[in-house]
Structure 1
Amino acid sequence: MIGRIRPLPHPDPFVEATRGYITRVGDALQERGTPLSKVWLDPSHPRDATFVLGLQALVWNESEGFVLGEYISGEPGVRTVLRDPVRLGGGVLPDPRAVPALLEGGVAAGPPVPLRPFTAGHDGFEDRLARYSYGENRSFD
């Protein structure tokens, strides 16, 4: 679909592994009419991504899942700063199509807390994330 806001490729392969998932979340948000002005992949440790939604931003990271708050600052390569961040729930890797409903449902899950350590090895997260990666048989258009 022409005109969608999508994250640019990231030079770090470890961070780039999140782009397929983040792209699908961004597409789902835009399909539901969420005003998305920017989206980017952020630094590692933990890997995260930012979706700028006007005065607010939705930030995903591999430890806390989705967090919503007032957008203070951030840009590609610089960690995003939110005022009054609240975790949306849904775990660390909810189905991308479920994220708009989490956003619309409000912020009942409480303050951000780690749900999984980003250093957790062999916990199945990378395999679940890889299902959303760009591949020769997958299209995001």
Structure 2
Amino acid sequence: MIDRIRPLPHSDPFVDVTRGYITSVGDALQAGGVPLSNVWLDPCDPRDATFVLGLKALVWNESEGFVLGEFVSGEPGVRTVLRDPVRLGGGVLPDPRSVPRLLNRDAAGAPEPPRSYSAGHDGFEDALVRHSSS
């Protein structure tokens, strides 16, 4: 059995609800052969998470979805800084199994407009909860 790299629980329940989705994405990346060395949940407004992939990092946030760039700095609880970030498309909550394919920018398509994470009930929270129970 392979030891999976997974995010630790977050002390803020509002941030921690993203952990199920982030865990599923991390598992999909690792199953797809993507070299994942660390993953963590970041601060909120917007909530986000970082996947460290060697010299690069993949950052997910609830407003823009996935962004890939050169890892400059970041750690749990501190917003990650990327050099030359590129939005990958696929929406703000793509199926975790599709994320490894998004790393190939040509396959991702055009990114959607950012989602307003403070706009009220749009089904996003329900989708996150579904991931936490899987």
- Give the TM-score category using the shorter length: over 0.9
Give the aligned partner of residue 23 of structure 1.
23
Q: CA RMSD in A?
A: 1.6
Give the aligned partner of residue 13 of structure 1.
13
- Secondary structure at the aligned position of 1:68 is classed as strand
The CA deviation at 1:104 is 2.8
- Could you tell me whether the CA contact under 8 Å between 2:90 and 2:109 is conserved in 1? no
Give the aligned partner of residue 89 of structure 1.
89
Is 2:70 aligned against 1:61?
no
- Aligned-residue identity in percent: 76
- Could you tell me whether the CA contact under 8 Å between 1:51 and 1:57 is conserved in 2? yes
Task: Report the more deviating stretch, 34-43 or 119-128.
Answer: 119-128
Residue correspondence of structure 1 range 95-106 to structure 2 within 5 A:
95-106=95-106
Give the aligned partner of residue 52 of structure 1.
52
- Secondary structure at the aligned position of 1:59 is classed as strand
Structure 2's unaligned 5+ residue stretches are none
Give the aligned partner of residue 116 of structure 1.
115
- Secondary structure at the aligned position of 1:4 is classed as coil
| Counterpart code for 2:7 | P
Question: How many residues matched?
Answer: 133
| Separation in structure 2 between the aligned mates of residue 114 and residue 130 of structure 1, nearest angstrom | 23
| Separation in structure 2 between the aligned mates of residue 45 and residue 91 of structure 1, nearest angstrom | 18
Tell me which protein shows more helix as a share of its residues: 2
Give the aligned partner of residue 41 of structure 1.
41
Displaced runs of 4+ in structure 1, greater than 3 A? 105-110
- Secondary structure at the aligned position of 2:103 is classed as helix
- Could you tell me whether the CA contact under 8 Å between 1:69 and 1:82 is conserved in 2? yes
Give the aligned partner of residue 129 of structure 1.
128
TM-score (norm 1): 0.89
The CA deviation at 1:109 is 3.6
- Secondary structure at the aligned position of 1:131 is classed as helix
TM-score (norm 2): 0.93
The CA deviation at 1:120 is 1.8
- Could you tell me whether the CA contact under 8 Å between 1:86 and 1:109 is conserved in 2? no
Structure 1's unaligned 5+ residue stretches are none
